[in-house]
């Protein structure tokens, strides 16, 4: 089975390859009457767009979105919203080597093993280019839950972490790394430049916070809010780990150290800590949702790597093309989009069952 739909009640289906004529998303289940134009979506795509700094791939894609259905007189009608983005700058010739040898770390071998053959141009369907469609769908999701603010940033690149003491929300959009720590941003400039110049690559950890999520959203047991977030984030290209709240660090704490005590507050409970990341039993507690996502280093590197050809012969491959030296950076708007999509879905699921 191929599963290109995500969500249960607020659902989206994406389609398209790296080097096809276009890619897109069909958003189904959106509530009616929401004001929506391309201008609500484009800024989020611009945030993810390649080629905006020397620290991302130099592929030049305007990523202009068109709404083809589901909106009338500027408002959603409750019917499917078809979003399309044309591919403009496909240099298919860059990928001729990829046809002849599997790039380790990429999906090349696995796709061939599954499907018997593959669209090797830029990774075809397995390309991170598909995430543009998610970001477009995520922009619609944000409008479904306007009370929620979803915000992500980069926390480490190549193992070099921000200093939490320097955290400044206003910084995040002031540098090409979505980095909330101005000092770290300077260090990362050198770090990523070095990787780029040497044809190497770096991993990253993205953190994300969603505020304004009311207590009660979440669909136990198998669509728990944290379970859905884990599924959503792990489906992003290059992601290898996901934590909610303290995550792996919690596994080293005692029960006392990990407790999130409560006190009576003005509007429901006031929590004295948030080790749990705003989720208990798979249901939102009303605290900020906090999660962290690990991106592996971009698999495309200039250093030749041992590999095999589709017919099984030994080969080496060095990936030239135009690549992100740190694919995690452009993961920031994608993580935000996936979190927004999960929350929109959970909002409708909750309203459906619990009124």
User: Interface residues for a second copy in 87-146 (CB under 8 A)?
Assistant: 102, 104-111, 113-119, 121, 124-126, 130
User: Can you tell me whether residue 351 is helix, strand or coil?
Assistant: helix
Q: Which is nearer to a second copy, 39 or 252 (CB)?
A: 252
- CB 240 → a second copy: shortest distance, Å? 5
Q: Which helix (H) or strand (E) holds 278?
A: none
Q: Is 194 annotated as a binding residue?
A: no
Determine, following the binding rule CB under 8 A, whether residue 181 of this chain makes contact with a second copy. no
Give the x-and-dash track for 2-31 against a second copy (CB under 8 A).
Answer: xxxxx-xx-x-xxxxx--xxxxx-x-xxxx
**Member of 60, 147, 281, 320 binding a second copy (CB under 8 A):** 281
- CB 330 → a second copy: shortest distance, Å? 15
Give the x-and-dash track for 306-345 against a second copy (CB under 8 A).
Answer: xxx---xxx-------------x-----------------
Determine, following the binding rule CB under 8 A, whether residue 69 of this chain makes contact with a second copy. yes
- CB 170 → a second copy: shortest distance, Å? 25
Give the x-and-dash track for 217-236 against a second copy (CB under 8 A).
Answer: xxxxxxxx-xxxxxxxxxx-
**Member of 181, 209, 246, 336 binding a second copy (CB under 8 A):** 246
Q: Is 69 annotated as a binding residue?
A: no
**Member of 35, 88, 186, 272 binding a second copy (CB under 8 A):** 272
Determine, following the binding rule CB under 8 A, whether residue 352 of this chain makes contact with a second copy. yes
- Between the alpha carbon of residue 312 and those of residues 57, 99, 108, 315, the distances in Å are 31, 13, 13, 9
Q: What DSSP state is assigned to residue 300? A: -
Q: Is 238 annotated as a binding residue?
A: yes
The single residue listed with the structure tokens 């200093």 is 163
Q: Is 125 annotated as a binding residue?
A: yes
Q: Is 54 annotated as a binding residue?
A: yes
A 10 A CB-CB count for 149 gives: 14
Query: Among 224, 212, 213, 236, which residue's Cα sits nearest to residue 333?
Result: 236
Distance CA 118, CA 100 (A): 12
**Member of 37, 54, 72, 193 binding a second copy (CB under 8 A):** 72
Q: Is 296 annotated as a binding residue?
A: yes
CB burial string 295-323: b at 16+ within 10 A, e below:
bbbbbbbeeebebeebeeeebebebebbb
The single residue listed with the structure tokens 């080629």 is 51
Q: Can you list the pairs that 227-235 forms with residues at least 24 positions away whose Cβ atoms lie under 8 Å? A: 227/282, 228/342, 228/345, 228/346, 229/289, 229/291, 229/338, 229/339, 229/342, 232/6, 232/338, 232/339, 232/341, 232/342, 233/291, 233/293, 233/335, 233/338, 233/339, 235/6, 235/338
A 10 A CB-CB count for 160 gives: 12
**Member of 34, 135, 162, 205 binding a second copy (CB under 8 A):** 205
- CB 149 → a second copy: shortest distance, Å? 20
Q: Binding site membership for FMN: which residues?
A: 125-127, 237-238, 281, 296-300, 322
């Amino acid at each position: 089975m191929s599963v290109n739909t995500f969500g249960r009640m607020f659902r989206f289906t994406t389609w398209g390859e790296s080097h096809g004529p276009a890619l897109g998303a069909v958003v189904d289940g959106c509530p009616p009457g929401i004001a929506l134009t391309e201008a609500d979506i484009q800024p989020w795509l611009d945030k993810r767009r390649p080629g905006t700094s020397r620290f991302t791939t130099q592929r030049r894609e305007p990523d202009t979105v068109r709404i083809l259905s589901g909106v009338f007189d500027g408002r959603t009608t409750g019917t499917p919203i078809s979003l399309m983005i044309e591919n403009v700058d496909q240099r298919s010739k860059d990928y001729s080597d990829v046809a002849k040898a599997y790039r380790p770390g990429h999906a090349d071998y696995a796709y061939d093993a599954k499907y018997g053959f593959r669209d090797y141009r830029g990774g075809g369907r397995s390309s991170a280019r598909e995430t543009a469609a998610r970001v477009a769908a995520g922009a619609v999701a944000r409008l479904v839950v306007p009370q929620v603010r979803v915000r992500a940033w980069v926390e480490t690149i190549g193992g070099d972490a921000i200093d939490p003491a320097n955290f400044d929300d206003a910084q995040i959009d002031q540098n090409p790394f979505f980095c909330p720590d101005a000092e770290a941003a300077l260090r990362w400039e050198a770090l990523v430049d070095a990787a780029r110049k040497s044809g190497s690559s770096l991993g990253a950890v993205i953190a994300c916070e969603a505020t304004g999520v009311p207590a009660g959203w979440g669909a136990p047991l198998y669509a728990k809010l944290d379970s859905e977030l884990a599924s959503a984030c792990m489906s992003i290209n290059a992601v290898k780990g996901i934590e909610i709240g303290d995550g792996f660090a919690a596994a080293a704490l005692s029960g006392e150290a990990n407790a999130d005590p409560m006190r009576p507050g003005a509007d429901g409970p006031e929590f004295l800590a948030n080790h749990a990341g705003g989720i208990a039993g798979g249901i939102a507690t009303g605290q900020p949702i906090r999660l962290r996502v690990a991106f592996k280093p971009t698999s495309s590197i200039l250093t030749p790597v041992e590999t095999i050809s589709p017919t099984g012969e030994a080969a080496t491959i060095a990936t030239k093309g135009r690549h992100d030296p740190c694919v995690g950076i452009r993961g920031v708007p994608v993580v935000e989009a996936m979190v927004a999509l999960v929350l929109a879905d959970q909002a409708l699921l909750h309203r459906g069952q619990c009124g």
